[in-house]
Amino acid sequence: MNLIELLKSQVSDHVISSLSQKAGVSEDQVKTGFAAGIPAVLGGILKNGAGSDPGILAKILPNLSGTGAVAESTPEDLLSGSEDSLLDKGKSLLGGLFGNDAGAVTSALSTSTGLSAEKSLGLMAMIAPLVIGFITKTMAGKGWNFSDLLGKIFESKQEITAALPQGLSDSLGLANLSLPKVEIPKVAIPKVEVPKVDLPKVPPVNYGTVQDTKSGGGFLKWLIPLLIIIIGAWWIMGRSGCNKSTVGNPTDSLSSKVDSMGTKMDSAGSSMKAGAAAAGSTIAGKLNEAGDFVRDLGAKTDKKLPDGTVISIGENSVENRLIAFIEDKNKPVDKTTWFTFDRLYFETGKSTLKAESQEQLKNMVAILKAYPEVNLKLGGYTDNTGDAAINKKISNERANAAMQELVKSGVDPKRLEAEGYGAEHPIASNDTADGKAQNRRIDIRVTKK
């Protein structure tokens, strides 16, 4: 679970209801406000923490900048206090976090919620202190200090950028932010001076004139130089062996580990490519005139659901495969089993669903109502054309748009979640128009059954 989802999970029904009454807006508008406010506050913290004066955050958020997080006011305390008190805290916080960009934040919230600028400012001012309270609780629960928090926010920068209302990412300048560089001191490895050892000088030996080739003088003539050579060779080999044991082994070990790691990564990359290619090759269908990939769904059949509802679906359709998965008790819920919507299409470059998508959405609503214990996650994906951050943003907007259509038709929002992944996890090659169309998709995963 990324940092945004971690904070969203703390936004209870009680918080939404209480804030709705204080701000004088609907509960749906409060939910939309949190969806925009959480990434906005995280972006503001990151912008200030990665700026030229990271210490400014200590002044803006003194309760977060120590070695551990101690909440100045818990979300419960803030909600139980007066409306004016919460507003005052929030306006001061917005000014400190966003400075001249505070207007852009409330304007983006106004566009997302449909509220007036004044109402949006009031709602955002109430949301900001609550989000800081949720962050503080999370830090205390996980034992993070402020540096840990900044690192976690930086790790989630792509998700934060994708979740921000349109245009706000550019205003905050998150794309070009990087954490302050930490200079790691260089540790000089001490040079080991090898002491020079002088070999004893052997005085010249005068063997005199050899009178008798059978005498022992010839043997002594060669024995002493031979001993000197053997002693010198033994000393040199001993020193070489010592150096190898202390320096060579760690280097050899490190080299072998790097080589091993590289082999594993190459192997994993090959497996992923092979898997994607295999997945792409099994999808039957063709492009239509609008550039959408139309899958071959097979013969139509009427499927009767547990609540008596009958839906008409193809034998190869996602509805048929999803129902089979739900009803199969031997197939557990996991994080790798995804099903691709085969009749869900969007306007080019937008998160607006085309009219022909309604049939499949209605079938999904019927399935969710017939299986009330089932929860789903929707994942949005794009092809690899264009900027990665923009692709992730639009994929997130599309996943949320599909989720909202299900909610409008009566599905409890607590049973659903959505996330955009951009061009990640392609199911076909991006080298062809057919492959690109297949990769522009919405997938679903059962998170509970």
pLDDT in tens, 61-119: 655 544 444 445 577 777 777 777 777 777 877 887 777 778 888 888 788 778 888 88
Assigned token pair, 245: 């044991």
Residue with tokens 């509220």: 115
Q: In whole angstroms, what is the distance from residue 22 CA to residue 87 CA?
A: 10
pTM of the predicted model as reported, rounded to 2 decimal places: 0.42
Q: Which residues does 349 contact at the CB level (< 8 Å), separation at least 6?
A: 394
Residue with tokens 């419960």: 76
Comparing CA positions, the residue from 126, 97, 100, 101 lying closest to residue 113 is 126
Assigned token pair, 362: 């209605």
Assigned token pair, 422: 């951009």
Residues in the chain: 449
Assigned token pair, 343: 């009749």
Assigned token pair, 214: 């059978």
Using CA atoms, how far residue 21 sits from 27, 94, 113, 387, in Å, is 9, 21, 16, 41
Give the 3-state secondary structure percentages of the chain, helix then strand then coil, rounded to 5.
55, 10, 35
pLDDT in tens, 377-423: 999 999 999 999 999 999 999 999 999 999 999 999 999 999 999 99
Q: In whole angstroms, what is the distance from residue 83 CA to residue 88 CA?
A: 9
Comparing CA positions, the residue from 85, 104, 79 lying closest to residue 94 is 104
pLDDT tens-digit profile, the chain (449 residues): 578 888 888 888 888 888 888 888 898 888 888 888 888 888 888 777 665 455 555 555 655 544 444 445 577 777 777 777 777 777 877 887 777 778 888 888 788 778 888 888 888 888 888 888 888 888 877 888 777 777 888 777 778 877 887 667 676 776 666 655 544 445 455 555 555 555 555 555 454 444 444 444 455 555 666 667 777 666 665 554 444 444 344 434 434 443 444 444 444 444 444 444 434 345 788 888 888 999 988 999 999 999 999 999 999 999 999 999 999 999 999 999 999 999 999 998 889 999 999 999 999 999 999 999 999 999 999 999 999 999 999 999 999 999 999 999 999 999 999 999 999 999 999 999 999 999 999 999 999 99
**Other beta carbons less than 10 A from residue 22's beta carbon:** 19
Q: In whole angstroms, what is the distance from residue 438 CA to residue 441 CA?
A: 7
375-381 and 416-420 strand pairing: parallel
Q: In whole angstroms, what is the distance from residue 90 CA to residue 216 CA?
A: 107
Q: In whole angstroms, what is the distance from residue 104 CA to residue 121 CA?
A: 10
Residue 295: beta bridge partners? 285
Using CA atoms, how far residue 173 sits from 30, 111, 142, in Å, is 26, 20, 29
Domain 281-448 -> CATH class: alpha beta
Domain residue spans of the chain? 3-176, 281-448
